[in-house]
Structure formats: structure tokens, C-alpha cells
Amino acid sequence: MTEVSKLDWRTLIKAAPETPPETITALDKYFEPFAQPALKMVNDKPDLGDQPCLKCDEPQTGLLASMFGKGGFTWGLAHGEGHCRNCHWPARAYHFIKHEDGSDLCTLRGVILQYHPDYVTERKTDAA
């Protein structure tokens, strides 16, 4: 796996100048465990497009991924969580972001963000 940057949420969400510091802190904390996705700019807005998996480089979204079984995001058991169909690298597609006091801040749905390698431990199976 090549060097992976941690996500700077400001590349996905534009915060207004008057955004309260506690909101900025909550967003920083929430997005900390995710890797920076490959972004294309479309009409001056960031587009996640057919982002490749961090581990196997197969696309995580798109028609070809779903039709031909190459890569693609597969839903897991926990709500909003899943992984790459090809290599099982973990990701989250539903994001329920809270303030420090537990109240709702915002929700992002359908935004596949893979976890940064610093936050992933791979299980080793014992040989029988």
C-alpha cells in the first residue's frame, strides 16, 4: 500500500466563516480515522467519482464495479459500515456526525470513506 494521507474534511465540506469552533472540533474528531479519497473537481465542486480502494485499487463505486464484481463497496452488518468486495478493506458510507454533547450535527449518506491504515488492524488466522 502506498503512503495514504488522512482525510481533510474541508476538501469535502465547505465550512462557512462563521462556523462555531466547537463544530469544527466535532468534524475534525469525526473524520480523523478516514483516509483522504481521490477527488476530482466537477463544476468547481469535489466529486468522489469512481474512487479506488486504498489496498487493491479496484473502484469502490460505479456501474462496472457492480456489474462485473470487480471491487465495489459491500455493506457490512453494522449500519453504514462495509468493505471493499475485492480485498475487504473497511469503509463507511453513512455518517451520523454528532456534537460533543451527543446532539446531531449532520448526516452524510452514500459517501464512501475508507479507513486510514493507522486505524485498521488485520486479523491473522491461526494455522490449524
Length in residues, the chain = 128
Q: Spell out a b/e string for 53-63, using b for 16 or more CB atoms within 10 Å of the CB, else e.
A: bbbeebbbbee
Pairing of strands 90-98, 104-114: antiparallel
Predicted confidence (pLDDT) per residue in 75-91, tens digit = 999 999 999 988 999 99
Number of domains within the chain: 1
- Range of 115's domain? 9-119
pLDDT for the residue numbered 1: 66
Top-confidence residue, 31 or 66:
31
Q: Is the pTM of this model over 0.75?
A: yes
Predicted confidence (pLDDT) per residue in 94-120, tens digit = 999 999 999 999 999 988 999 999 999
Top-confidence residue, 113 or 39:
113
In a domain, 125, yes or no: no
